[in-house]
């Protein structure tokens, strides 16, 4: 790939439980390590301090105002200029999490992912290619229950409260309206790795051909 060209910026957006993380990991696997770098919206939450379980349940993380979109945009611009970005990983208020300092290096392909990347106008304007990952609501909910229980230790009642009061309303207001503006829509209802691996291989092959022109 031509390293003298402006980086090609791919936006990957998807609601909670859409299988976006597996899609993303599979997609990255089709590129060499120095060809691609990833910037995740999840690492730009404003710190909220220690919260009780009840406070955490009621706090709505699914609002654009919880994200430091100015720093998010600034770091994308740094990567485009060829600068390295250092960022503290967000722990989602998990007291057992070991917080890492992320080193994000510039690359010919920059992947920007997150729930609000299409809603944040200045970030959306920088995207050269947009991918929308979606799943049926009930399938997405079951994935969310499993993930939040295993990775974050949240009780199922708390997950259901957030899903109906925070997650779905935010998805419908801040992401779904941009669905038809995306270059590629990936329907991810099947928990079959081969299905996503095949799709990501097709998309990455197509993009490599475009980028290398």
- Is pLDDT at 41 greater than 90 in this prediction? yes
| pLDDT level of residue 177 (50, 70, 90 thresholds) | very high
Residue 187 β-bridge partners:
134
Task: Report the pLDDT value the prediction gives residue 51, as an integer from 0 to 100.
Answer: 72
Task: Report the pLDDT value the prediction gives residue 94, as an integer from 0 to 100.
Answer: 60
Q: Please provide the average confidence, as pLDDT, over all residues in the chain.
A: 90
- Is pLDDT at 6 greater than 70 in this prediction? yes
Task: Report the pLDDT value the prediction gives residue 150, as an integer from 0 to 100.
Answer: 75
Over residues 144-174, the pLDDT tens digits come to 999 887 777 788 998 999 999 999 999 999 9
Q: Which of 43-52, 87-96, 112-121, 193-202 has the highest average model confidence (pLDDT)?
A: 112-121
Task: Report the pLDDT value the prediction gives residue 104, as an integer from 0 to 100.
Answer: 94
Residue 133 β-bridge partners:
14, 186
Task: Report the pLDDT value the prediction gives residue 182, as an integer from 0 to 100.
Answer: 97
> What span, in angstroms and rounded, lies between the C-alpha atoms of 201 and 213?
19
Task: Report the pLDDT value the prediction gives residue 193, as an integer from 0 to 100.
Answer: 87
Residue 14 β-bridge partners:
133
Q: Of the candidates 11, 210, 32, which has an alpha carbon nearest to the alpha carbon of residue 110?
A: 11
Over residues 68-111, the pLDDT tens digits come to 999 999 999 999 999 999 988 776 656 566 778 889 999 999 99
Task: Report the pLDDT value the prediction gives residue 65, as an integer from 0 to 100.
Answer: 95
Task: Report the pLDDT value the prediction gives residue 152, as an integer from 0 to 100.
Answer: 74
Name the one residue in this structure whose structure tokens are 């920088």. Answer: 126
In the chain, the domains with their CATH numbers are 8-211 (3.40.50.300)
Instruction: Give the DSSP H or E segment for 186.
Output: strand 184-187
């Amino acid at each position: 790939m031509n390293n003298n060209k402006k980086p090609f910026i791919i936006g990957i957006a998807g609601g909670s439980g859409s299988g976006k993380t597996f899609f993303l990991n599979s997609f990255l696997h089709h590129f060499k390590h120095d060809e691609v770098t990833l910037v995740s919206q999840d690492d730009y939450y404003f710190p909220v301090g220690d919260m009780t379980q009840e406070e955490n349940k009621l706090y709505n993380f699914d609002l654009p105002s919880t994200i430091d979109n100015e720093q998010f945009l600034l770091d994308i611009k740094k990567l485009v200029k060829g600068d390295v970005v250092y960022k503290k990983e967000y722990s989602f208020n998990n007291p057992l999490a070991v917080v890492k300092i992320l080193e994000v290096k510039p690359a010919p392909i920059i992947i920007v992912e997150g729930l609000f990347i299409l809603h944040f106008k200045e970030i959306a304007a920088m995207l050269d290619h947009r991918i929308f990952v979606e799943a049926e609501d009930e399938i997405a909910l079951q994935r969310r229950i499993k993930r939040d229980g295993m990775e974050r230790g949240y009780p199922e009642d708390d997950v259901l409260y957030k899903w109906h009061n925070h997650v779905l309303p935010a998805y419908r207001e801040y992401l779904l309206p941009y669905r038809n503006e995306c270059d590629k829509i990936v329907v991810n209802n099947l928990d079959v790795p081969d299905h996503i691996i095949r799709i990501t291989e097709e998309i990455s092959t197509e993009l490599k051909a475009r980028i290398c022109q």
